[in-house]
A and B are shown apart, each in its own frame.
Chain A
């Protein structure tokens, strides 16, 4: 029995879509309430149109606070397109009996691939060599100067051994890299060496890879002392959040040669990137795209719909947000 349009459950979307398109797949199954398209200020819109909306679909750009929840008395489920939950007051949702589902591990492979790709690019100077060829310098100046370092045997230190960190470890092991890590808790099921703090990890690594979430504890966790411990032959890769690294200290250590190089997909103040980095040959810069492949966004669409359909059929959510352990 095909559901008529006004029978379709209401799905509220507050912010305009970014790369994720709230298009046809959602319109086919839900009555999508597009708050950003209304000339009304948000509270007026919600009061007029969203009082019986049971579901909210949001990205990390929508801040879900107690104040917002007060305006949505019928809300029962929130699905977010991100893995991170900094934008959602999860305890408040729990108090109100509102279920929350996130992107789960949909992005883990792609982010792990990006971390490995950036590490290879920095060590083997792939982007720099590609620029060298495109500028006609190979024919003109001769061989690309030797300076690249081997990946095999380099000690990899992973900060945050969650879903992404584990995928990074699995990949780099195949390249012959010994893996160690620092995480909130030691993981008994893995054989990688655990270091109780990031400083110790950095001191024993050649390649430091940031894969953890941004929290109050991890903000500026990578500062001057950790970078010095990593040392002048070390490289740092960040596919977490810009604010995990003290960016000023990072720039300084790169400019002064205190570390060998860096591959960065995230920055403290995106889309702004420190001027000094733009002219360095020992860095590879990426515009926060580690998760953004056609395939992962296709998978994300299917996952968001699957979570919503499960909810509306009273079945268990596919990627429910679990309480922190």
Chain B
């Protein structure tokens, strides 16, 4: 399989690069000074693309690679992939579901605990020598707080399971009500926000869910409410979020994703009622390796004529 050309769109994980290099001829897109030059020289050699949420495989890329057979995304999210076009051209697509569910659910809980119990603030307080000057003061209890989940898929369900162990009542909003689920269903995000203290976004990013959390939802969540986002930055109207926080119409926020990563608004960087993470929901050594193994396994399966492990298209 040495001769099979695989194009990686951007740096993702050294281990993934190593494993791909052992099996294929790996082209690193970012190593080529000119994209046009790259396509001119190599487009005919590329039979597979490995993309991620930063740089997927869009229409332009598909058009430039006449021998493209498969796109293996190093992500579960498919928002950077033009699925319709792939189907049209008979190109296969795989992603990395399941392996990162636990890690993303854990980060959601960590963000909730972080915003309410202020671990980051406590840590800075001690490191800054302020404890000698007096007590830190009270924080807000997490156990028992009502949690509303937007999107009760794999990640949303894993979040619910963890939160239940803290005696948190769970409710949710989803495209449709789920039978056999004992959590309370609300037919829209505003109704959900009105009835919970902590609202967590765990759904996929699609045309319908873009800016699903806007001013109305935040006002419904209220001055003691907390918004947690482990979905995509584009789920939340970020300027509206910043005003809501600045004006005290929303109590706090825990964010792993932003509309324009890696840019994070100045105003957020100065707030003490937020926790800000650099999109690390699935960034553990174990999960990154598992995701990389899945990408490699899908490519190997395709090129040896075996069924794909985690096909999307």
CB-CB under 8 A from B110, the residues of chain A are 117, 120-121, 124, 126
Q: Are B135's CB and A295's CB within 8 A?
A: no
Residue in A144, A174, A285 whose CB lies within 8 Å of B123: A285
Q: Choose among B114, B126, B285 the residue that contacts A149 (Cβ–Cβ < 8 A).
A: B285
Q: Would B141 and A109 count as touching, CB distance under 8 A?
A: yes
Q: Which residue of A lies closest to B166 (CB)?
A: A171
A residues less than 8 Å from B127 (CB atoms)? 278, 285
Q: For B167, what are the chain A residues with a Cβ–Cβ distance below 8 Å? A: 109
Please name all residues of chain B whose beta carbon is closer than 8 Å to the beta carbon of A131 when the two chains form the complex.
Answer: 120, 124
Q: Is B199 part of the binding interface, using a Cβ–Cβ cutoff of 8 Å?
A: no
Instruction: Mark the stretch among B83-91, B245-253, B273-281 that contacts chain A.
Output: B273-281
Q: Tell me how far the C-beta of B186 lies from the nearest C-beta in chain A, rounded to whole angstroms.
A: 23
Question: Are the C-beta atoms of A143 and B278 separated by less than 8 Å?
Answer: yes
Residue of A nearest to B286 (CB): A150
Which residues of A, 131-175, contact B by the 8 Å Cβ criterion? 131-134, 136, 138-139, 142-144, 146-152, 170-171, 173-175
* A74 vs chain B, min Cβ distance (A): 34
B285 touches A146 (CB 8 A): yes
Chain A contacts for B286, CB-based, 8 A: 149-150
With an 8 A cutoff between CB atoms, is A296 at the interface?
A: yes
Q: List B residues 86-119 near A (Cβ within 8 Å).
A: 102-103, 106-107, 109-111, 113-114, 117, 119
| Nearest chain B CB to A117 CB, angstrom units | 4
- Whole-angstrom distance from the CB of B251 to the nearest CB of chain A? 13
Q: Check B144 against A287 for contact (C-beta < 8 Å).
A: no
Q: How far is the CB of B146 from chain A (nearest CB, A)?
A: 14
For A265-289 the 0/1 string (1 means CB < 8 A from B) is 0000011110000100000111101
Which chain B residues lie closer than 8 Å to A148 at the CB level?
A: 280, 283-285
Partner of B114, one of A126, A171, A272: A126
Nearest to A139 among chain B residues (CB) is B262
Cβ 8 A contact of B278, one of A118, A129, A270, A271: A129
Chain B contacts for A294, CB-based, 8 A: 138-141
Contact A150 B123 (CB under 8 A): no
Complex CA gap A132/B262 in Å reads 11
* CB of B92, distance to nearest CB on chain A (Å): 28
Closest to B102 in A: A152
Contacts A113-B166, A296-B141; is A174 near B120 (CB within 8 Å)? no
Please, how many angstroms separate the alpha-carbon atoms of A294 and B140 in the complex?
A: 6
* A127 in contact (CB, < 8 A): yes
Asked if B269 CB lies within 8 Å of chain A CBs, one says: yes
Chain A residues in 8 Å Cβ range of B124: 127, 131
**Chain B residues whose CB sits within 8 angstroms of the CB of A142 once the complex forms:** 262
Residue of B103, B111, B165 with most partner-chain A CB within 10 A: B165
How many Å from the CB of A9 to the closest CB on chain B? 29
Kindly state whether residue B204 has any CB partner on chain A within 8 Å: no
CB closest residue in chain B, given A285: B126
A279: nearest chain-B partner, CB-CB? B127
| Closest beta carbon of chain A to B194's beta carbon, Å | 22
User: Does the CB pair A113–B142 fall under 8 Å?
Assistant: yes
Is B122 close to A, CB under 8 A?
yes
Cβ of A272 and Cβ of B13 under 8 Å apart? no
A sample of 15 more A-B contacts (CB under 8 A), given A120-B106, A289-B139, is A109-B166, A113-B142, A113-B166, A124-B106, A130-B276, A134-B276, A138-B262, A144-B278, A272-B132, A286-B122, A287-B135, A292-B137, A292-B138, A293-B117, A297-B138
Residues of B bordering A, CB below 8 Å: 13, 102-103, 106-107, 109-111, 113-114, 117, 119-120, 122-127, 131-132, 135-144, 161-162, 164-167, 261-264, 269, 275-278, 280, 283-288
Question: Can you report 22 A-B residue pairs in the complex whose CB atoms are below 8 A from each other?
Answer: A110-B143, A117-B114, A117-B119, A121-B119, A124-B110, A126-B277, A130-B120, A131-B124, A134-B269, A148-B284, A150-B285, A152-B102, A171-B162, A174-B164, A176-B102, A278-B126, A287-B131, A292-B138, A293-B117, A293-B138, A293-B141, A297-B138
Give chain A's interface residues, CB within 8 Å of chain B: 18-19, 109-110, 112-114, 116-118, 120-121, 123-127, 129-134, 136, 138-139, 142-144, 146-152, 170-171, 173-176, 270-273, 278, 284-287, 289, 292-297
Task: Name the 10 nearest CB pairs between A and B, nearest first.
Answer: A174-B165, A117-B113, A271-B131, A295-B141, A109-B143, A285-B126, A293-B141, A138-B262, A152-B102, A120-B110
